[in-house]
Amino acid sequence: MSATTFAWLALALPLLGCVVSALGYRAWPGRSVGWVATGALLASFACSVVTLFELLGEPAEERQLVSSLWNYAATTGLDAELSILVDPLSVLMLLVVTGVSSLIHLYSISYMTSDRGYARFFSYLNFFVFSMLLLVLAGNFLVLIIGWAFVGAASYLLISFWYRRRTATEAGIKAFVMNVVGDVGLVLGTFFIFQGTGTLDLLGTFEQVDGAFTENQAGLVAGTVLLLVGAFAKSAQVPLHTWLPDAMEGPTPVSALIHAATMVTAGVYLIARMHPLYEQAPAAGIVGAIIGCATLLIAATTALAQTDLKRVIAYSTMSQIGYMVMAVSAGAYVAGMFHLMTHAFFKALLFMAAGSVIAAMANMQDMDRMGGFRRAMPFTFGCFVVGGLALAGVPPFSGFFSKDEILAYTAERGGIFVVLVAIGYVVAFITAVYTFRVIFRTFLGEPVAEARELEQGHLHHADQPTNPATGEVEDTDVGFPGPDHHVAERAFPMKVAMGVLAVLAVVGGLVQIPGVTHLLDDFLEPTFADSEFYEALDPSPASEYIGLAVGAIVALAGIATAWLVWVRRPGTADAVRARLRPAYALFANRWWFDELIGALVVRPARWLGIFAQNIFERLFVNGTLVGGSTGVVRASSAAVRAVQSGFLRFYVAFFLAGMVGVVLWFLLSA
Amino acid sequence: MILAQAPSPPVEWAGISPLLALFGGAVVVLMGGLFPGRAVRERVVPGLALVTLLIALGCLIWQWDSEQDLLAGALRLDGLTLTLSVLFVVAGIATVGLAWRGFDRMESPEGEFYALVLTSIGGMVVLAAAQNFVALFLGFELLSIPLYVLCAIELRRKGSLESGLKYLVVGSVGSATLVYGLALVYGATGSTDFAAVARALTANAMNDDVLLLAGLALALVGFAFKASVAPFHQWTPDVYEGAPTPVTAFMATATKAAALGVTLRFLDVALFPAADDWAVPVAALALISIVVGNVGALGQSSLKRLLAYSSVAQAGYMLGGVVVGTSLGVQAIVFYLAVYLVMNLAAFAVVVARERETPLGDSMDALAGLGGSRPLLAWPMTISMLALAGFPLTAGFIGKFKLIEATVQGGWIFVGVAIVIGSMISLAYYLKVISVMWMRDAPAVEPAPAVKITPAGAPPPGGRPALAGGSPELDAEGRIDSGRRDPELVVLAVVFGAATLAAGIVPQPLLEWAAKAGEAFPGLF
């Protein structure tokens, strides 16, 4: 039993869980299907841990294991093998994905209890984890593309999980279309790279890329930029980010799993995985870093002006992923992966806590109507504050170390990257402000009616279930949220999941304290050993500590500002809004990206579609192509059946005629 | 006196053991059929046939790695012989399963039926192993004559007799053409041995020899007839439709493999030096076959006729692998033959099952609503149809992929294009079968014979009168399904359907198996 065997097991278990929970959806009594799915994930996590230890048992230079299950299409010049690559990078992702997913499954057992689509939900969740692991473990571009597309499909299924809710299905379609744009980018990028290297195998590509392409050769830059398009779509980076806020229409565990901890980090993983390509095409790396920086600024400012609780966290996710994309594009791979890991902990925690609050509000997500939940839900409050401190980057919480490592390492590149880092520090301040804006507005202040009701020991239920976004009246049957909802204070599995994540959000940063610990650095070394930046980017402890100090001051200043604006002098926010009306309009309208994409892409595409349908399709395709070719086929079919008379004498005559024809051909052609 | 002096050739007993098993088994089965008693006829005789086939399979596996000339060079045991023989035996086993319990009790032809099947398989093995014209023709007739009888074995059914007679007459013309062609090639080259013919062709550079060309053309027509390649296919729909369905299944799969196998050997070994002469006509036959088979299958309402035309088209696809004359082509054909056998047997198992369960025979209506009522039959049929059309994740996709790859690599790109276009047309009729199964309800009213003999006014047997709350539709539906269930047919359908799927997902083992056939052609690259 080697490391790859356990990696295959970790990959197979969620698939098994998906099939088992789907096929038995009638047979599983009560909540058992949730426990089955969660058990599959926990077993998968256990296999991942064993994989880790098996891998650590190997000598450092042999920690890149490839295992091929079978060769799907052995044909000339194409090595489309179903293979996985087990190395420190993929094992790190494996651990993060299976670990966080297990906790989110556990949370969902309670959260989704009363939903009529309980088994379907867990089947989808398991399918998502399987797809994500396929993406992470892929040892071949073909498998990577399959996993990439599966993840998009799973995301679509889960966002539109309440499929009778119009806003949810529209959000699902939007997410799917944008993800397909990314899929196209990934596939085209793969073609460009394959054209140069002639192999689909990842390790083979990395070995040959230096020989096949010169530095910044056009083909390679095109290929890597197209890969970036794929990464941007999946990781919600500007301008392919507008699907992520809408994706909050899905159930809250989905937001925690897909839109915080796992799927949206796939782009970061892709860039880190393809680092030999980006080092051979530094131009593409700079593009990635600039887009990442733009995203982190745009998303953070947008988050300041949103009032929907989950959307604020969604924008914060985009912003944090902007940090990671900037880091891995700049060559600070370990820092980027480090932030990916800590972010998975604290962002999943924040979503879970938000889910608890939303449940207490009877599925209402508007922050304007929330307040004073501190006493009603002390556990949720505690978790939210821990997550918020980690997100804001307050020492010694996990986000503090990882974010500052990104900024310190990126600054080492010099040049334009110094500007990007400066923006990064500004955004760190904004991050602290909007995070604590949420905490202060939701948990402090005068308790709202729902909070008081909960303090009395009763959970608020709306008179009539409605869509929180549009106010449409709904029922609680399949395709809509169930009648009951659950809060962390009362549901034990939710409490456990959040507790574990809270601990991880506190201590997760300790693996990488500058000058003290470098566990992740050492662990990932075999993957990045061939990288030119891995060795070169090595900021001195002094500069790192200066960075840490600046980061801490910025975070605390941000929290203080938020406290001033929303607690100490509650009217300040309105005054600021009135003073800075244009800026507020920009942020509140999400920088008008939806409108921009609508005008530039959606509307021309619709016109084109109407033209194609009414004129091109009707006249040319249906009339000429289809009508013509089916006419030919029909006529020849009639001819074949006409000569099939059923008379033996005719058959023999036909046979002899054919024979004469063949003989004549032979004699005449020679 | 002269006979006594002629040295008898050495006999390689181990090498001919599969043949011995088949022919010996045929005699035993024939004798067994003479014993009185239903149990003997319905249990022992098919059992003996099955045992014979398993022994033959065992012998093939035993000889798997051997490569030798047999009986003074008349036959040869090599990769092609072995791989094709395995296909014949598997088709035989499936035929025994399909035919079991399918005979009219009045006729009781079990002994003859199974003996003839075994003899025919023996003929196929001889044909696949043949190394000279005499052995080739011997195998050809040994395979054909039992089939004529098998087609007509349901003596009381007119369709069966018509099928047998038509096959006999057209088949005789085909055999005559073949033997005439072989004689002319012998006349041109002075030898009946494949290798010697090839040597003579190389030595004398006789590409324009009229005798050779005429002989080649006639022999090609003979093979094309047997493989039901258009325009020599016209017997196929009629014979397939009239013959008992297990026999049709056997003809469609095993005969096709034997005919294409011997074509491969004849053209790529004996007449390979004259490849410039035959490649273009063979490609033309392939194109005609693809077009005629696919457009002919459109609009057929009989499943057996549909599968007959489909087999014409599939023969055209496989000829594409013959045209290129490369080792890749040989592997692609053998792989496709295996895949074709598996997916067709799944379809035929379903057709046989529905023939016995409903009075609708092999009409497409017999499949209506199968998806809801009999998923274990509907799924294999669906997989089989998708595979025949060449859907990804089924074995048919990989098979077509290899054929197209072989044609493109061999420089016959237009044949590859024709395969793709043919597959496109074929979706129209394959998907129709699937839509009938899943999207149409079982026919509600059916003039079943049982109704006609019921006296007027009396409720039909088994149904409740409408006044008592019984639904006439339900009753009619109950009558359509006779309630007969033969589990062995379901097992066969599921096994072959699953194999179709498995070989599409994990094609590597089957590809390696097919690669063994390529080893038999050392002259190809």
Give tens-digit pLDDT for A304-344: 888 888 889 999 999 999 999 999 998 888 889 999 999 99
B159: pLDDT strictly greater than 50: yes
**Together in a domain, A134 and A236:** yes
Among A558, A573, A588, which residue terminates a domain? Answer: A588
Instruction: Identify the residue with better confidence: A129 or A116.
Output: A129
* Contact partners, residue B453, CB within 8 Å, separation at least 6: none
Q: Say what the pTM is.
A: 0.73
Tokens in use for A422? Answer: 């400066």
Instruction: Tell me if B281 and A640 make a contact (CB, 8 A cut-off).
Output: no
Q: Round the average pLDDT of chain B to a whole number and report it.
A: 87
In the chain, the amino acid numbered A378 is P
- The answer to whether B128 touches B266, Cβ cutoff 8 Å, is no
Query: How far is residue A262's CA from residue A274's CA, in Å, rounded to a whole number?
Result: 18
> Which residues in chain A are contacts of B208 at CB distance < 8 A?
670
Residue range B492-512, pLDDT digits in tens: 999 999 999 999 888 888 888
Helix B133-151 and helix B256-265: axis angle, to 10°?
Answer: 170
Domain end position, chosen among A566, A588, A610 = A588
Asked if residue A244 and residue A143 are part of one domain, the reply reads: yes
Taking the C-alpha atoms of residue B3 and residue B8, their distance in angstroms, rounded to an integer, is 9
Residue A524: pLDDT band with limits 50, 70, 90 = confident
Q: Between B479 and A32, where is the model more confident?
A: A32
Which residues on chain A are in Cβ contact (under 8 Å) with B409? 76
Cis peptide before B36 (omega within 30 of 0): no
Angle among Cα A66, A71, A74 to the nearest 5 degrees reads 125
Q: Is A473 exposed, middle or buried (0-12, 13-18, 19+ CB in 10 A)?
A: exposed
- Tokens at A634, concatenated: 């029909």
Which of B349, B483, B324 has its CA nearest to residue B404?
A: B324
Q: How far is Cα B79 from Cα B87, in angstroms, rounded to an integer?
A: 13
How far is the alpha carbon of A630 from chain B, nearest alpha carbon, in Å?
9
Mean pLDDT value across residues B11-20: 90
pLDDT in tens, B315-327: 999 999 999 888 8
Nearest to A662 among B174, B220, B299 (CB): B220
Residues A295, A339: one domain? yes
Q: Could you say which DSSP state residue A274 is in?
A: T
Nearest CB to A670: which of B218, B235, B277?
B277
Identify whether residues A342 and A258 lie together within a single domain: yes
A146 and A293 in a single domain? The answer is: yes
Strands A65-75 and B68-70: unpaired
In the prediction, which pLDDT does A396 show? 83
pLDDT value of residue B215: 92
pLDDT digits (tens, 9 = 90+) for A206-255: 888 888 888 888 888 888 999 999 999 998 888 888 888 888 888 888 88
What amino acid occupies position B442?
A: A
Range of the domain at A625: 594-669
Q: Do A499 and A621 have their domain in common?
A: no
Reference B379, options B489, B484, B493; nearest CA is: B493
Residue ending a domain, among A588, A621, A648, is A588
Rounded-to-integer distance, Cα A629 and Cα A620, Å: 12
Would the CA dihedral through B447, B449, B453, B458 be positive or negative?
negative
- Do both A460 and A582 map to the same domain? yes
- Residue A75 to residue B405, Cβ atoms within 8 A: yes
pLDDT (0 to 100) of residue B277: 86
Report the run of H or E that residue B70 belongs to, with start and end.
strand B68-70
Find out whether B473 and B445 touch, Cβ atoms under 8 Å: yes
Tell me the average pLDDT across B87-107: 87
- Joined together, the tokens standing for residue B457 give 């006014």
Contact B274, B207 (CB under 8 A): yes
| Interface contact A644-B237, CB threshold 8 A | yes
pLDDT at position B106 is 63
Same domain membership, residue A243 and residue A208: yes
Cross-chain Cβ contact A652/B170 below 8 Å: yes
Structure token pair of residue B516: 């063994």
What is the Cα–Cα distance from B386 to B501, expressed in whole angstroms? 10
Q: Which two tokens stand for residue B193?
A: 């041995």
Q: What is the pLDDT of residue B476?
A: 45
Q: How far is it, in rounded angstroms, from Cα A575 to Cα A565?
A: 10
Q: Any idea which residue has 């809270």 for tokens?
A: A502
Does the beta carbon of A637 lie under 8 angstroms from any beta carbon of chain B? yes
In angstroms, the Cα distances linking A550 to A433, A546, A553, B197, B208 are 16, 6, 5, 91, 92
Kindly state the average pLDDT of the residues B126-153: 94
Label residue A636 exposed, middle or buried (CB < 10 Å: 0-12, 13-18, 19+): middle
Measure the CA–CA gap between A485 and A491, rounded to whole angstroms: 10
Q: Please report which confidence band the pLDDT of residue A578 belongs to, taking 50, 70 and 90 as the band edges.
A: confident
Structural tokens at position B428: 């129209």
pLDDT (0 to 100) of residue B396? 92
Q: Which residues from chain B sit within 8 angstroms of residue A633, using beta carbons?
A: 295, 298, 425, 428
Amino acid of residue B361: G
Nearest-angstrom CA–CA distance, B230 and A461 = 74
The predicted pLDDT at position B173 comes to 93
Task: Report residue A38's pLDDT band, with 50, 70 and 90 as the boundaries.
Answer: very high
Q: Which two tokens stand for residue B203?
A: 């030595």
pLDDT at residue B262, rounded to an integer: 93
Compute the distance between CA of residue B125 and CA of residue B135 in angstroms, rounded to an integer: 11
Q: Are A505 and A346 in contact (CB under 8 A)?
A: yes
Which chain B residue has the Cα nearest residue A633?
B295
Number of domain units in chain A = 2
* Least confident window among A237-241, A424-428, A538-542, B240-244: A538-542
d(CA B480, CA B491): 23
Nearest alpha-carbon partner for A58 in A68, A46, A66, A70: A66
Residues A554, A569 within the same domain: yes
How many whole angstroms from its chain centre is CA B186? 30
pLDDT (tens digit per residue) in A592-621: 788 888 888 888 888 888 888 888 777 777
The pairing of beta strand B75-77 with beta strand B68-70: antiparallel
pLDDT at B2: 62
Quick check: A651 and B214 CB within 8 A?
A: no
Rounded Cα gap, residues B396 and B415, in angstroms: 17
Residue for token pair 């080893």: B519
Q: What would the mean pLDDT of B459-488 be, rounded to a whole number?
A: 55
Q: What is the pLDDT of residue B447?
A: 47
Greater confidence (A199 vs B89) lies with B89
pLDDT of residue B449: 46
Model pLDDT, residue B461? 45
Shared-domain flag, residues A602 and A538: no
Residue B471 has pLDDT above 60, yes or no: no
- For residue range A173-207, list pLDDT tens digits in order: 989 988 998 999 999 999 888 888 888 888 888 88
pLDDT at A21 (0 to 100): 87
* Residue A637 pLDDT > 80: yes
Residues B116-131 have a mean pLDDT of 95
Sign of the dihedral defined by the CA atoms of residues B93, B99, B105, B111, in that order = negative
CA dihedral B327, B332, B335, B340 (to 10 degrees): -140
Transcribe A2-32 into DSSP letters: -HHHHHHHHHHHHHHHHHHHHHTTTTS-TTH
Mean pLDDT for the stretch of residues B408-433 = 91
* Residues B377 and B490 sit within 8 Å (Cβ to Cβ): yes
Give percent above pLDDT 90 in chain A. 23
Strand, coil or helix: what is A142? helix
Check residue B105 and give its pLDDT: 63
Q: Based on the domain organization, do A12 and A62 belong to the same domain?
A: yes
Check pLDDT > 70 for residue A487: yes
Distance of alpha carbon A102 from the chain centroid? 17
Predicted confidence at residue B452, as pLDDT, reads: 41
Q: What burial letters (b/e) apply to A481-515, b meaning 16+ CB within 10 Å?
A: bbeebbbbbbbebbbebbbbbbebbbebbebbbbe
In chain B, what percentage of residues exceed pLDDT 70? 91
B429/A contact by beta carbon, under 8 A: no
Shortest alpha-carbon distance between residue A640 and chain B (Å): 6
Residues of A in contact with B201 (CB under 8 A): none
d(CA B331, CA B511): 8
pLDDT at A139 over 50: yes
Helices (H), A412-479: 416-443, 449-455
Q: Are the C-beta atoms of residues A230 and A185 closer than 8 Å to each other?
A: yes
Q: For residue B280, is pLDDT > 60?
A: yes
pLDDT over 70 (residue A1): no
CB contact under 8 A, B277 and A656: no
Buried b / exposed e along A139-162 (16+ C-beta atoms within 10 A)? bbbbbbbbbbbbbbbbbbbbbbbb
Q: What is the largest CA-CA distance in chain B?
A: 90
CB nearest A636 (choices: B220, B295, B405): B295
pLDDT of residue B475: 43
User: Nearest-CA neighbor of A265 among A320, A331, A329, A335?
Assistant: A320
- Does A615 share its domain with A537? no
- Quick check: B416 contacting A, CB < 8 Å? no
Size of interface A-B (CB pairs under 8 A): 96
Looking at residue B474, what is its pLDDT? Answer: 44
Average pLDDT over residues A256-280: 88
